[in-house]
């Protein structure tokens, strides 16, 4: 059996994860988690976003999931919503791309254009 302190620590970690998925003001990161997204690797991408946001202790950023975004061939897809700008859609996202998206776009406000839908459609 766990001690009361260990159970409290588990509860605190679980609450922190739930807070990341809550829709609030600020930046929202939405990962497409329909069958097509999951098959393409969206789950590790979402977990990497959560890990990166936790590591940086970003408080105004939420991570959530959605169903099919509509372009299965471009999965995994991630949409980033900020209150003052239009939505940005990243496509063919791999876990190793997440750090750059968070650093450049989420933290510094500079879109990583070569990962966006516009760049993918131009190829």
Which range, of 14-23, 24-33, 47-56, averages the lowest pLDDT?
Answer: 14-23
Give this prediction's pTM: 0.76
**pLDDT of amino acid 5:** 80
Per-residue pLDDT of 45-81, as tens digits, reads 999 999 999 999 998 899 999 998 889 999 999 999 9
CATH 3.40.30.10 fits 16-122, yes or no: yes
- Sequence spans of domains, the chain: 16-122
* 42: CB partners within 8 A, 6+ apart: 31, 32, 33, 65, 75, 76, 77, 93
Rounded to 5 degrees, φ, ψ at 88 are -120, 130
24 confidence band (pLDDT: 50, 70, 90): very low
**pLDDT of amino acid 19:** 56
């Amino acid at each position: 059996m766990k001690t009361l302190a260990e159970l409290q620590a588990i509860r605190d970690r679980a609450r922190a994860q739930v807070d990341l998925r809550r829709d609030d003001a600020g930046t929202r990161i939405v990962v497409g988690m329909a069958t097509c997204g999951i098959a393409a690797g969206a789950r590790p991408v979402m977990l990497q976003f959560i890990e990166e946001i936790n590591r940086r202790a970003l408080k105004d950023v939420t991570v959530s999931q959605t169903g099919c975004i509509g372009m299965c061939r471009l999965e995994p897809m991630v949409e980033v919503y900020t209150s003052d700008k239009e939505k940005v859609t990243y496509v063919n996202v791999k876990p190793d791309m997440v750090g750059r998206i968070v650093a450049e776009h989420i933290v510094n406000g500079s879109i990583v254009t070569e990962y966006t839908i516009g760049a993918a459609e131009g190829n």
